[in-house]
Chain A
Amino acid sequence: MIEIRDLYKTYGSGGAEVHALAGVDLDVAAGEVLMLMGPSGSGKTTLLSVMGCILRATSGSVKIEGREVARMAENKLPEVRLKHFGFIFQGFNLFPALTARENVELALKLKGLKGTRAKAEAAALLEQVGLADKLNAFPSDLSGGQKQRVAIARALAGEPPIVLADEPTAALDSQSGLTVMEILTGLARKRGRAVVVVTHDNRVLQYADRIVRIADGRVVDEEDRERAA
């Protein structure tokens, strides 16, 4: 589903060059939960950004469902993000002026769904994450775990094949964190989505199919589920 080869992301030039990513090779398959781990500044978020077509690579190849995106024109990337990805952020990044349903509806509208269909679909997505009774609640009225579940519902809008999550449990208590991970794992197992999670949280490693460790912009270790367990 995602194929990354010899990926570089370099900031600055000449003597001031900094390689945020330095020759990363990585594959992510459908139905897989892949966790990216590593110390701060190791390049995890940069890798997630390049993978999600938010940031452009300096060199190398990134294929999303067989389509090369690394050298794609800047103005084509939003369409790729819209079609292939759902994003989940550490800080939830919900729109505070919109209700839970409107937050999800907004993502659906970006993907072309309008009117009552968008409303109904947003309600259904929120129901899937256990928030059927919070449709009209504003983010400020929700707990951290509930906000993250709204964010997951939003990421699922339009049924993207890939979900990218950046520290999705970092701002949550243990129980909420586990609930969120169970939802994400369920997405991979039951719906065949590829789920990539950047995390520092050892509590959630049990949900990984594969753990990829990154340091200094390179993949330094990979563990499959059995080995991690």
Chain B
Amino acid sequence: MFKLAWKNLFHDRVRLAVTLVGIVFALVLILVQFGLFLSFLDTSANIVERSGADLWITAPKVPYVNGGPPLSEANRWKALAVEGVERVDRYILAWVPWKLKSGAIESVQVVGYNLDSGLGGPWNVVAGSVEDLRGEDTVMVDEIYKDLLGVTHIGQVFEISNRRARIVGFTRGIRSFTTAPFVFCSFKNAQNYGAGNLREDQAVYLLVKGKAGIALEALRAAVQAKVPELDVLTNAEMHGRTQTHWVFATGAGITTLMGAVLGLIVGVVVVAQTIYAATVDHIREFGTLKAMGASNGRIYEVILAQAAISGGMGYAVAIAIAAFIARGSEGGNAPIALPPEVAAGTLLLALAMCMGASVISIRKATRIDPAMVFRG
């Protein structure tokens, strides 16, 4: 029966091409839309996800990571007093003005972190070294934002809040969700840039690292008890809170999510119609098979095999196109994520959509009016 399915498909190559175009279009649409959404999710809270911290101490009800009122350093000492806490680092993430060579101003987000622990620091450093950030007025930016910030090479000097900022390295792929790029530097330098308008003894966040093997929830509760007037969140909670803010509290998130959902709906409809039409094209042959004594099960086999072959072939083409688009988008402002889980999930989705759509036509094929089979 598989042979019949295969031959049925390849006998009419124009029909097969039309079927595959429909499936490929639908799958690429789904992959790109979900890729954009996943990338959106990742970008919205990447700084938290990669922070390496176990807990975040913030001012109450801070909705997302990209801001918040200052915290007194006294809270750091309170947290350090909790058993099971290995270290507590001050952390700054705040908007400051970046002056380009042309004199124009760009807004950037200075990320000031403790160079000794590396908590909340940059990752994927492709030029220079984080050790170079120990120097006075030194910063590191991402390659993606070179053009935006007017940066061409290491050693260039710019101004942040009217204070010099020397480029000592580049990262790759650390996007900011907002239009303001991240600029990594030491906590001290960030203070000097006036980030968050902090006093000497203040920070925007406190990042807590627990001792190895410590139970996270117990640690969170213990730290919270020491600083009851503040919020103590696990890294996952902070990550979720930030993502939720950007996804649901901003139009951008809903739009991207809707795009992904619409992509899925349109994809399902296109595939369903395409597969249905392809199956109905062979309805007379299924009727003949039935008249010859094939059980409904044998007819299902042919129809499902046709759907699976179409789905598999469509997927192979679609994933190649989506990978090409994703690769092309890597350096742009709207990257498309294509993790293996999504690729695998889309294969299952493609097969499910194709076979699901064919089930509709199976009903038609197995309830054929016999007069149709005998009609000339």
Contact = CB atoms under 8 A, between A and B. Distances in A.
B364 to A, nearest CB: 16
A46 B10 CA distance: 35
B4 A95 contact: yes
A166 interface: yes
A78 B293 CA distance: 4
Interface of B: 4, 7-8, 10-12, 284-285, 287-296, 298, 370-371, 373-376
* Highest count of chain A CB atoms <10 Å: which of B11, B284, B370: B370
Given A89-B288, A89-B373, A95-B288, A78 B295 contact: yes
Contacts of B371: 45-46, 49
Given A49-B370, A97-B8, A97-B11, A91 B291 contact: no
Nearest to B298: A110
Given A93-B284, A96-B11, A98-B4, A166 B292 contact: no
B293 A82 contact: yes
Interface string A164-178: 001100110000000
Contact of A54 (B7, B295, B370, B375): B370
A207 interface: no
A170 B376 contact: yes
B218 to A, nearest CB: 62
Contact of A87 (B4, B7, B284, B292): B292
A45 B372 CA distance: 10
6 contacts: A54-B291, A89-B291, A93-B288, A98-B7, A110-B294, A110-B298
Contacts of A166: 374
Nearest to A157: B292
Interface of chain B: mostly helix, strand, loop or mixed? helix
Contact of A171 (B12, B296, B376): B376
B43 to A, nearest CB: 49
Contacts of A171: 376
B359 to A, nearest CB: 19
B10 A97 contact: yes
A119 interface: no
A103 B296 CA distance: 19
A97 B278 CA distance: 14
B292 A91 contact: no
B291 A87 contact: yes
Contacts of A89: 288, 291, 373-374, 376
B4 A106 contact: yes
B374 A107 contact: no
A180 interface: no
A29 interface: no
* Highest count of chain A CB atoms <10 Å: which of B11, B289, B293, B296: B293
Interface in A124-180: 154, 166-167, 170-171
B291 A81 contact: yes
Given A95-B285, A97-B11, A110 B292 contact: yes
Contacts of A202: none
A68 interface: no
B277 to A, nearest CB: 17
